[in-house]
Homo-oligomer: A and B are copies of this chain.
C-alpha cells in the first residue's frame, strides 16, 4: 500500500494510491479515519484498517490534482545516519565507528514537501548545498530494546529522503548542527510505501539525479548498519515512537562520465581543500531539479530555488 499525505481545502488528508496516477481518499472511505499519518500510526490497527477499507476500491482522484505534503507532520524524532554507506566513507576519507552507527537529528523545518522547492542558501552564506539520497524508515510500532530479529516488525513503511546538507556549516565544528538543519534544505516522500509491499530494504537500490544526470546509484545492501541494526541501537536508549523517521545515510558519488563537465570540474566545488572535493559531486543551485528514486517505491522530486538575500527578517 502506498499512502499519500496531502492537503485539500486546507485540511490534512490521507489517500491510498490505486495506480500510479489515481488514489482514493481515506476520509471518503471512512470519515472516522485519522486525517494524518502521524495519527493513523498511533492506532495499532490503523494501517490494517485503511488497507481493508481501500481494498478493491477504484481510484476516484487524480494524483496530479492534489498537492502532497510531507508524509509526517511532526515526527517526534527525525534521526539520520552519517557515513553509513561504504562508498561514502571511502570518498570522504573520514573515519567512523564500525561498532556503533553515527547518528544526528533534523528539525521538521529543514524539510519541504515532495515537489516543493528546496531553498539554496544565498551565495554569501554558503555554496556547497548538496543532495543526499537516502532510504527513509518510518516507525509503526514503538518499543524499547528491540531485538534485531524483531526490528522490521516495528516498521510501518519506507520513503525516499533527500537529506540536503550545507557542507560549509556541517564542517564548522565537530557536531553537524546547523549544516544538517538549514531551513527547507531537504525533503522526504513522495509517499509512504508500507513494509509488506516494499519487502526487504536491502534488496532495493537508490538513484539520485540532478537535472536528469545520475549522481548517486547504490544498492541498499552497501550499508554498514542495516535498518534492523539501527532500530535496535536507537531503542536501547530511546523509546521509538510511531511516526519516527530514520534516514539511513547516503552513498558515494557516481564517477562522472568523461564528457560530464559539471561532474569533472572540481573547481566548481566548494570544499575545505582538495581532499574534500569529490569527482561526480555537484552542488545544487537555483534552477536545478533533484530526484531521489528508490526502486519500486517512487521518485521524490524537488526543484531548487534561491533563498532571498541574507538580511535581518524579524517575524
Residues of A within 8 A of B (CB): 74, 76-77, 79, 82, 94, 96-97, 99-110, 121, 125-126, 141-147, 150, 153-154, 166, 169, 172-179, 181-183, 233-234, 236-239, 241-242, 310-315
Q: Which of B101, B141, B144 contacts A173 (CB 8 A)?
A: B101
A81 to B301, CA, bound (A): 34
Q: Which of B102, B106, B242 contacts A177 (CB 8 A)?
A: B102
Task: Determine if A96 and B178 form an interchain contact, defined as CB atoms under 8 angstroms apart.
Answer: no
Task: Determine if B178 and A76 form an interchain contact, defined as CB atoms under 8 angstroms apart.
Answer: no
Task: Determine if A145 and B107 form an interchain contact, defined as CB atoms under 8 angstroms apart.
Answer: no
Q: How many copies does the complex hold?
A: 2
Besides the contacts A101-B172, A143-B312, what 14 more A-B pairs have beta carbons closer than 8 Å?
A: A77-B181, A79-B177, A96-B173, A96-B174, A97-B172, A102-B177, A105-B181, A143-B314, A144-B312, A146-B312, A150-B312, A166-B237, A178-B236, A239-B315
Chain B residue numbers with a CB within 8 Å of A108 are 76
Task: Determine if A233 and B143 form an interchain contact, defined as CB atoms under 8 angstroms apart.
Answer: no
Q: Which of B175, B178, B238 contacts A175 (CB 8 A)?
A: B175
Task: Determine if A105 and B103 form an interchain contact, defined as CB atoms under 8 angstroms apart.
Answer: no
Report the 5 A-B pairs with minimum CB-CB distance, sorted nearest first.
A103-B177, A100-B172, A142-B315, A102-B173, A105-B105
A101 to B166, CA, bound (A): 16
From A175, which residue of chain B is reached at the shortest CB distance?
A: B104
Task: Determine if B238 and A178 form an interchain contact, defined as CB atoms under 8 angstroms apart.
Answer: yes
Task: Determine if B310 and A178 form an interchain contact, defined as CB atoms under 8 angstroms apart.
Answer: no
Chain B residue numbers with a CB within 8 Å of A233 are 178
A147 to B311, CA, bound (A): 9
Task: Given A109-B238, A166-B237, A237-B183, decide whether A174 and B102 contact each other with a Cβ distance below 8 A.
Answer: yes
